[in-house]
Structure 1
Amino acid sequence: MSTGLNTGDSAWLMVSTAMVLLMTPGLAYFYGGMVRSKNMLSMLYMSFISISVVTILWFLYGYGIAFGDDAGGAGLIGWGDWRLGHIAPTALQGAIPEQIYVCFQLTFAIITVALISGSIAGRARFGPWVLFVVVWVTVVYLPIAHWVFADSGWLSKWGVMDFAGGLVVELNSGISGLAMALVLGPGVAFRRGEGPRPGNIPFVLLGLGLLWFGWFGFNAGSALTDGALATRAFVSTMIAGCAGMLAWRTLEWLRFRHLTKLGSTSGALAGLVAITPSCAFVSVEGAFAVGVVAALVCSYAVELKLVAGYDDTLDVVGIHGAGGIVGVVALGFLSTGWERGTPGLFYGGPASVLGKQVVAVLAVAAYAFVVTYLIGKIIDRLFRMRTTEEEQARGMDAAFADD
């Protein structure tokens, strides 16, 4: 490990941090365009408020819980580095300034909680949502981030592979979105059997473009260097997104003999989600396979809500939850063991590699679902998080003005 500052790596991480931060406004536009026009403003604000709230939490105590020295030695939670003003600009995390590393990891926390808003679009009051952001990041995101991203986390020490957040960001947000969808129940439109009515398709495409651009910083930036590892992550991200887009469109045509308005965006998003944990561990061919499989799996997963009766309004469960599972489990087969990680089954690795990836999925999903469900129930009981049928009929933009 380098013992001095690497200016090239530092510059790359600064750029990556800005790119990942841009993903949250991109998500706001993506979600804002997906909902009906009467709910557009509220969806934008639900994402944007995450930036300010999570940033303050992160600098007060969040980074210390997620990345501080392990408390108790069990790998469950960090402890230390409170009030980050005491970290000097010259302090290093490897060969990069620790303050920049803090900001880079902050952007992951911001977008993860913002993603959950898509599962409850049009039926969550703004005030209780802000409270949910505070509690959820503290009780759900920070421990899971410690498990996976911190060197002392139990999943990290066990050898579980997750390069850029398939467990911490994608699966976590998807399963938490499922829990909140169950807490708040289906909306009026869902109970009537009404399908999605995107209010602004250009907003959706603009949002996808910003998300895709930011994803290069998300994945390649997680290398924390500007070298070969970042290059592999960058290329894999591009390939998987494109493969997912084409696979989803192809499946649509084979199944329905027509193409939907949002098929391309959903397919690209599925590929990008699934490549997140595996981008630096798989080959170019592996990235293509991950994108295709993710699109196929997610295209069916988004239909589960119609069978099970939960209102995952913007398909957070079907795309981020299912896509995260595909990407994490795929490493048990497709990891090359190049530079980092352990070879998967297709590259001569042991079956235990796949087993660890599956256990990690189950552990993160179970914790995220149970704790998020309890948080949602308590907040809804105390502060009425769910909107009334009248508020849903008026639209959340009008209700937001009254909140």
Structure 2
Amino acid sequence: MSNSATDHAAIPQTLWAARGRHPGPAAEDVVRRTLGRHKESGDIDDFAEPPVPGDSPERIFEARWRAGGTVTVRARLTLVPRATRPEGQEWTLVAEAERPWDEAWPSPATLFWPEAGPAEGADGDWDHHPTVAGLRFRQVNPLPDDDKETRRRLKDAARDSWCAHVVVHEAMTPDEQGRLPLARLLPPGLRHRVMEHRAAPQQFRAVNWALKDLGVEVPRGGAVLLPPDPRPEDYDSREHSVRTVFLDGSEPAGLVAALRHFVALPRPLPRGAQQALTDLRENWTLTTLQEELERQRELVAMYADALEAMTMSRDLYREAAEQAHQALAALRDAPAPAELPQQQRSGARTPAALQQLTRTFERLRFTVRGPRPAPATGPSEAPGVPGLPEVPEVPEVPGIERADSAGAVEPR
């Protein structure tokens, strides 16, 4: 079991939710007939069967009515075929009222499904537990004789947070009246959300041994509610334990009080209930003319807000684009940067300067007549000019005048 309920959305007090299984092959026909009868009698205002995708196995039914004559209730039932045995269809029913749910209102289950009776036959066989075989809502569910099987069943039941599971211990073997289910004595709003497990007088120790892992125990001749999963942090098992339950046909006042307290707990939504509630609120199709008008007004307001946001974004983009164009134009119109002075350039000479210097040395060389003596040492680089040979000094020759670097003859 989970240890905390803080990570789950709490059950709204306006919500009535239940889940079960219909073992027959034509559950949707049963629902259609039942809704049709209630519409003719005025128990509901209207019902509809919204379309589903062609490849979807689901069947959806919607109904609306006025609880207490004034409070509008919208309900949605979803049927899904079971892929495993036992066959049949699982159903999920969520109903939401305009104000917190009153347990004296009619049970939504009785507006979609027929009450059990000889006239309904197999049509009334809709109240099976969806996952635990052998359990039914409107009947007494005796605990197995095997202790380990009892422990397994109660642990499986405790994981189901869609309904309240109550374990009742018989102080003595009841008469025919005492063997009737207690659900029939509960308020209508609680009747189809309670699963009754019954322990025989000799099973007292065995049932408390099975409940030990859940942290609760049933008093002798009393009852206890299984803790919700996940268990709230402030959950107190003593508040959901009844010391005495009289199985004589009288109203079990202590059990009803414990159930009311249990239902009012800030419990998390069961697994799958959040999606069912979202579908009820967002995909509802059975609207009145006034509701449709209000819905269209909300859509117009939403579209107006979206259009205003798009217009604002467009203006911001346009302003940013204009600023970018202005910056680009200013960059194009700006004068080119001035060239750096010659002395600030790199120390390496440009190729043109090297060629000019080479031509000067060539002219010097051809001006001098006579054989060119071999250098005493290997060629060396001219200072400041990497890679150029050093110009040898021209020896003085009698009768020959020295020429300067420009080619002019200097008299001796």
TM-score by length of 1: 0.26
Structure having greater relative contact order (Cα 8 Å, sep ≥ 6)? 1
> How does the TM-score come out when normalised to structure 2?
0.26
Identify the structure with the greater strand proportion: 2
